[in-house]
A = this chain, B = another copy of it.
Amino acid sequence: MWPPGSRAAMALTVDFDAEEIWLAEDPANAARPGVLSQARYGVERALPEILDILSRLDVPATFFVCGGDAERHPRAVESIVARGHELGHHGFTHRSPHLMSRDEEADELGRGLDVLRRFAPRIRGYRSPSWDTSPNTLDLLVEQGLDYASNLMDATAPYRHPAHHIAELPVHWILDDAPHFWFDTSSWDRTIRSAREVAELWQEECDAVHDQGGLAVLTVHPQIIGRPGRLRMLERFLAALRADDGIWFARGAEIADRAHAATPAPAETS
């Protein structure tokens, strides 16, 4: 499935999530500067650092961005595209599709695309907020002209959905930064893991996925991974993988191309 010389693949995905994640959690957060300061950190401090790390390591990435966040932070989104990274769809707000009617979900997708297309001519991939989807999601993605998604936890290699022209790049909680690092006053019972502990978690999973010849999809959020001590770990972690010639680092769209090419065309969907 992978390019010649590569035995496994690695996708670095960045869920850009600025203010939208806090507003979806609780609209009252709009009046909490302390809470929103974390979003600003992600955009203003962490994003440039992350882009620099990716440049230093020559790692291509896919940034999934909510439409609302893109409207609020156009220069940040421009800086992502300018560095050659892929822009993906992350909803308009950061609300979960499984809580929406079909019309609401279609509207969210359409509004998000309208905004994102101002920054990149073609948007192909969709990652829902929280990796949740609805029974309508695949149909709606086809209708909107997208051709891959990255939401499900059913495999460790990409595949094409049987009844839709949508490739899936599967994810998992282990390879996300949020379950290990998240903390806020409404998540008071959480444990903040050290960067070393998270490197161990990621290493165990990536090593095993790569030994299978699979795809490891790492998901990070600027306001979470962007703390200085964590960024240092991220750079070391990626550098070690980058030094392995057998691992193909690719944007989501490039991986989706491979999945589409490897699978017979699906039956038409209603």
Residues on A facing B (Cβ under 8 Å): 28, 31-35, 37-38, 40-41, 44-45, 98, 128, 130-135, 137, 151-156, 170, 172-174, 179-180, 182-185, 187-197, 200-201, 204-209, 211-212, 214, 227-233
Contact = CB atoms under 8 A, between A and B. Distances in A.
A40 B159 CA distance: 14
A156 B228 contact: yes
Given A135-B31, A137-B33, A228-B209, A194 B201 contact: yes
Main secondary structure of the interface of A (DSSP, over half): helix
A25 to B, nearest CB: 11
Number of copies: 4
Nearest to A96: B185
A60 to B, nearest CB: 23
Contacts of A207: 229, 232
A189 B192 contact: no
A192 B179 contact: yes
A154 B41 CA distance: 4
